[in-house]
Amino acid sequence: MARKLAVIGAGLMGSGIAQVSAQAGWDVMLRDVTDAALTRGTDGIKASYDRFVAKGKLEAADAEAALGRITTTTDLDAVADADVVVEAVFEKLEVKHEIFRALDKLVRDEAVLASNTSAIPITKIAAVTERPERVVGTHFFSPVPMMQLCELVRGYKTSDETLATAREFAESVGKTCIVVNRDVAGFVTTRLISALVVEAAKLYESGVASAEDIDIACKLGFGHAMGPLATADLTGVDILLHATGNIYTESQDEKFAPPELMRRMVDAGDIGRKSGQGFYKH
């Protein structure tokens, strides 16, 4: 399999995808709009490799070699010779459209264009390209180096060959894949966590139980590693509000209608761990 990967967006997800791919032997071009963003991304990758080396899970020489396989750029044209491109930018359709329009003109005909979106239908993203059959969803999970899952999403026109290439890529970087055969908003995982978070927030909002007790119920009753409200704080209440809103808009299914509490928390800036306050104090 060809081994040139371009990752668009050097944030938490993009840098994580770059990290596991370089470690697996891919040559990675990491692109973002500013040098500062690229420096943050590569500093995070180096720190993560250092932690793996310190724990004895990665040889220092292998970490050094992996770092050497990552190059950075602010120039989108530099990704033109990639075999696989993974877009990992902000969850806004207009932003993704701008990138996919540009990529469509830049990359080779046989390249696979993938999106790391967690909630936006792949068909909508692919629609602005001349090659919707070469566009696929590769939804990785955070933190990418630790999480085993990759959700592969087939858009309305995604070809079998494109899906197979995406699977080969994800499995080559150590992930287990599930396939979403019908391009519904939120796919499988975001729909499941959104429905759970919405119901948990409603129970908390109406005083049925405390946030702690709702999370304990899910951990001890269902064997979840983390409860839904703690997950919301980790992911960002704003991110989940955005995702549930997207799914609700697409599906008009009431179970995805975000509760008022989540809207007010976002208005107030109480968006979870990154702000120091969400459903819990951090």
Residues contributing to the annotated binding site: 48, 55, 118
DSSP assignment, residue 121? -
Alpha carbon distance 164, 162 (integer Å): 5
Burial class from Cβ neighbours inside 10 Å (0-12, 13-18, 19+) for residue 134 reads buried
| Residue 155, amino acid | G
Contact between 153 and 125 (Cβ < 8 Å): no
Burial class from Cβ neighbours inside 10 Å (0-12, 13-18, 19+) for residue 26 reads buried
Q: Tokens representing 74?
A: 């602010």
104: nearest Cα among 127, 123, 120, 121: 127
| Residue 265, amino acid | M
User: How do strand 135-140 and strand 149-154 relate by DSSP bridges?
Assistant: antiparallel
**Beta-strand runs (E) in the chain:** 4-8, 27-31, 70-73, 84-87, 112-115, 135-140, 149-154, 176-180
CA distances, 70 to each of 23, 102, 127, 211, 256 (Å): 10, 22, 30, 42, 39
Annotated binding site for CoA: 48, 55, 118
Burial class from Cβ neighbours inside 10 Å (0-12, 13-18, 19+) for residue 281 reads exposed
